[in-house]
A and B are shown apart, each in its own frame.
Chain A
Amino acid sequence: MQVVNQDPYTHFLEPVPLDDMLSYAERFYGNEAEEIVEKVVKLLDIEDIVNRSVITLSGGQLKRITIAKALIPNPTILIFDEPLMWLDDVNGVEMFKAILKTLNDMGKTIIIMEHRFLHLLNFVNSMYKLMQGTLVKVDKSDVTKLVRQSFRRVVEGIQALKTSQSNSYREVLRLDNVWFKYGKEQWVLRDLNLKVYQGDTVVIYGPNGAGKSTLLRIIAGVLKPTKGSVKRFSKVMYIPQIPYLFLTEESIKKEIKELCNNRKVREDCFSRCSELLNRFGYDDLDRLPLHLSWGQVTRLATLLSINTINGDGLILLDEPFTGSTYLEAIALAETLRMFTEVAKIIVLSSRDYISLFPKARVYTLSNGVLSPLAYRDAHMFDKAAYRLIPP
């Protein structure tokens, strides 16, 4: 039996995956290790990436290699813990479906723990929900019916999205004809134009490597556009994909204190922020942020950011749902929706979460071009599907 963890980085002890797989295979097969690794590499079609350094690989590519590594001892049972986490829609999810098909053909027993399970309906024989420590069997036909219902409702909801968003508020960000490339490499961003107003929610969707993070860094002012201009009219906060990198102190209380040190009225700032965090369930302010779950840290970073910008600036969120459970994702989206005066730019590589922002302006970033998302093509799920998820 082999377990494939959520985080692909937990599978490698060597910087080059091929070396790592060879070391692992030698334990079981001795001198035949190389041959076995070669077979597994071919099976999962990873010849072109397995020799590259871990840091140059995307989450999806790494996930594929992880599965290859797990196959080395030829396990009968494979357990996947949230396999779709870190994967984008274009390359990732489709890639995982192809792998599942291969594993099915090999006759492997597969157990999948997944929140975004709707993608995998055609590849499973039975479904269960884990509720208060008990496994309850779910009828597949019920789920299919739910999906159809939810899809219809989403399409109906999309019509409403076409109505324009805020227009009475002040402008917080303007991008005019922004072009960007690293050195003499190809253009990463081409002629981007974007206006963000106070209270706007802008979702930018794109696959891994589309240039979303580069765009955020340009907006943040860390990178300068090669051509064009970026104008920021308010304070900007940035929450990285790994939210723990946002935090610098050993307790939540110290985080608040540090943030409020820059303010004129420190006491007021501290009490306001503590109250805000209390409202959202952060009762123990002496707690080490490291002990919070991924989703809780993202939400904490968001709330701290909102307090810092005094409720009317711009927050940039880079893939805020990467490590969160569905419920944590919903909680974060609801939190963001509550602060109507704050502008948010949310970068996503999965369409699954777009429906969490029904009033957002949604764009796709593809080949460096920013364009409004073709809503009708979007395969989104609404809350009807979450009925299967325990409270």
Chain B
Amino acid sequence: MSFSRNLAELFTPLCSSKCFSLYTRISISMAMMLIPMTIQTLFKGQKIIATIYTFILALTLLSIRSNLKRVLRVLTLILIFIVIGFIVIAISKFLGYPTPTLKELILSSVNLVTLFLSISLFFQWTSLRELRWILTKMGMSRLANLTTATLAFLPLLLNNYIEAYIAILMKFGKRKVYKAVNSLIIHTTMIANDVAQAIYLYGLPQTPRVKVERPKLLEVLLIATIVILAMFLIIVAP
């Protein structure tokens, strides 16, 4: 039950501008997303040290503001998919189809987990008003408004999932517990009504005035270290 709550909180902004400057936060989380993607695309099944480095770094960065245990607990969801992948590959191997090696498989899984953590890092480190500001600066103000309305209620909806789950489990038993999705759809329409009321009462949020400070020297050093070390490990290490 606390799983859905943990998952919801993993995508909720935790760190306001007081933590690092906006540029630093965006740069670090973007770099953290790009590194596993680069390794996976260009060096599939290779670069063990770089892969481990990014994974540990992602966990460390997440644990700065979030509870590491919670992050690890949420990882069980991704592990389920990884296990399913393993099973599918084992069956494929059994049937004689071409399959990746075990090393490739493990490294790809770790890269996937790192990418997931980096995405949640981006959402935790960037407040919605900053995200809106970025989108508006990119000339996508309509998308910024839609993003606001959507993302604001996503954690709330995830949090309500457990209530629906218990009610439907008691109502129909385990075999039809999937019907909780219907309840959530109904509830989503109600939340949409809440959003409409909020817009009616207060209007759509205007383009936010976000204070964009220059990153401090230490922050620049941090970004540089992360990127240079990753590049070094990708190029030099096996």
Chain A residues close to B by CB (< 8 Å): 3, 5, 7, 9-16, 18-20, 22-24, 26-27, 30-31, 33, 51, 53-56, 69, 182-183, 217, 220, 222-223, 236-242, 244-249, 258-259, 262, 289-290, 305, 308, 316
CA distance A3 to B217 in the complex (A): 47
Are A11 and B202 in contact, with the CB atoms below 8 A? yes
Binary interface encoding of chain B residues 207-223 relative to chain A, with 1 for a CB under 8 A from any of its CBs, else 0: 01100000000000000
Q: Nearest-CB distance from B125 to chain A (Å)?
A: 13
B152: chain A residues within 8 A (beta carbon): 12-15, 54
Q: Nearest-CB distance from B53 to chain A (Å)?
A: 29
Are A240 and B164 in contact, with the CB atoms below 8 A? yes
A-B contact pairs, 12 of them (CB 8 A): A13-B149, A14-B127, A14-B152, A16-B13, A244-B187, A245-B180, A247-B182, A247-B183, A248-B183, A249-B182, A262-B172, A308-B171
| B206 interfacial by beta-carbon distance below 8 Å | yes
A222: chain B residues within 8 A (beta carbon): 1, 165-166, 169
B8: chain A residues within 8 A (beta carbon): 55
A55: chain B residues within 8 A (beta carbon): 5, 8-9, 12, 155-156, 159
Are A245 and B167 in contact, with the CB atoms below 8 A? yes
- Among residues of A, the one whose C-beta sits closest to the C-beta of B5 is A55
- Which residues 116-139 of B sit at the A interface, judged by CB distance below 8 A? 127-129
Are A16 and B128 in contact, with the CB atoms below 8 A? yes
- Among residues of B, the one whose C-beta sits closest to the C-beta of A288 is B186
Q: Nearest-CB distance from B194 to chain A (Å)?
A: 4
Binary interface encoding of chain B residues 148-163 relative to chain A, with 1 for a CB under 8 A from any of its CBs, else 0: 1101100110011001
| B100 interfacial by beta-carbon distance below 8 Å | no
- A5's partner among B127, B179, B201, B206 (CB-CB below 8 A) is B201
A237: chain B residues within 8 A (beta carbon): 170-171
- A13's partner among B159, B190, B195 (CB-CB below 8 A) is B195
Are A246 and B171 in contact, with the CB atoms below 8 A? yes
If the complex has contacts A53-B155, A248-B179, are A15 and B167 also in contact, measured as CB distance less than 8 A?
no
Q: Nearest-CB distance from B188 to chain A (Å)?
A: 10
Chain B residues close to A by CB (< 8 Å): 1-2, 5, 8-9, 12-14, 16, 69, 127-129, 148-149, 151-152, 155-156, 159-160, 163-173, 179-180, 182-184, 186-187, 189-191, 194-195, 197-199, 201-206, 208-209
If the complex has contacts A16-B13, A54-B156, A239-B167, are A24 and B186 also in contact, measured as CB distance less than 8 A?
no
Q: How would you classify the secondary structure of chain B's contact residues: helix, strand, loop or mixed?
A: helix
B156: chain A residues within 8 A (beta carbon): 9, 54-55
A182: chain B residues within 8 A (beta carbon): 2
| List of 3 A-B pairs having minimum Cβ-Cβ separation, nearest first | A23-B205, A248-B182, A240-B163
Are A54 and B166 in contact, with the CB atoms below 8 A? no
If the complex has contacts A23-B206, A242-B163, A247-B183, are A51 and B16 also in contact, measured as CB distance less than 8 A?
yes
- Among residues of A, the one whose C-beta sits closest to the C-beta of B181 is A248
Are A217 and B166 in contact, with the CB atoms below 8 A? yes
If the complex has contacts A7-B194, A26-B209, A53-B13, are A16 and B166 also in contact, measured as CB distance less than 8 A?
no
- Among residues of B, the one whose C-beta sits closest to the C-beta of A315 is B170
CA distance A391 to B195 in the complex (A): 33
A26: chain B residues within 8 A (beta carbon): 206, 208-209
If the complex has contacts A27-B206, A55-B12, A245-B163, are A217 and B128 also in contact, measured as CB distance less than 8 A?
no
Q: Nearest-CB distance from B145 to chain A (Å)?
A: 9
A240: chain B residues within 8 A (beta carbon): 163-164, 166-167
- Among residues of A, the one whose C-beta sits closest to the C-beta of B179 is A248
Are B128 and A19 in contact, with the CB atoms below 8 A? yes
- Among residues of B, the one whose C-beta sits closest to the C-beta of A246 is B167
If the complex has contacts A238-B166, A248-B168, A290-B189, are A183 and B149 also in contact, measured as CB distance less than 8 A?
no
Are B183 and A14 in contact, with the CB atoms below 8 A? no
Are B160 and A258 in contact, with the CB atoms below 8 A? no
B159: chain A residues within 8 A (beta carbon): 55
CA distance A237 to B160 in the complex (A): 18
Besides A13-B148, A242-B163, A249-B182, 17 new A-B residue pairs in contact (Cβ under 8 A), listed by A number = A10-B198, A11-B198, A13-B149, A13-B152, A13-B195, A14-B127, A14-B129, A15-B13, A15-B151, A15-B152, A19-B13, A53-B155, A240-B164, A241-B163, A247-B182, A248-B168, A248-B179
Are A22 and B183 in contact, with the CB atoms below 8 A? no
B172: chain A residues within 8 A (beta carbon): 258-259, 262
Q: Nearest-CB distance from B203 to chain A (Å)?
A: 7
Are A248 and B180 in contact, with the CB atoms below 8 A? yes
Are B202 and A13 in contact, with the CB atoms below 8 A? yes
CA distance A94 to B198 in the complex (A): 26
A316: chain B residues within 8 A (beta carbon): 170
Q: Nearest-CB distance from B182 to chain A (Å)?
A: 4
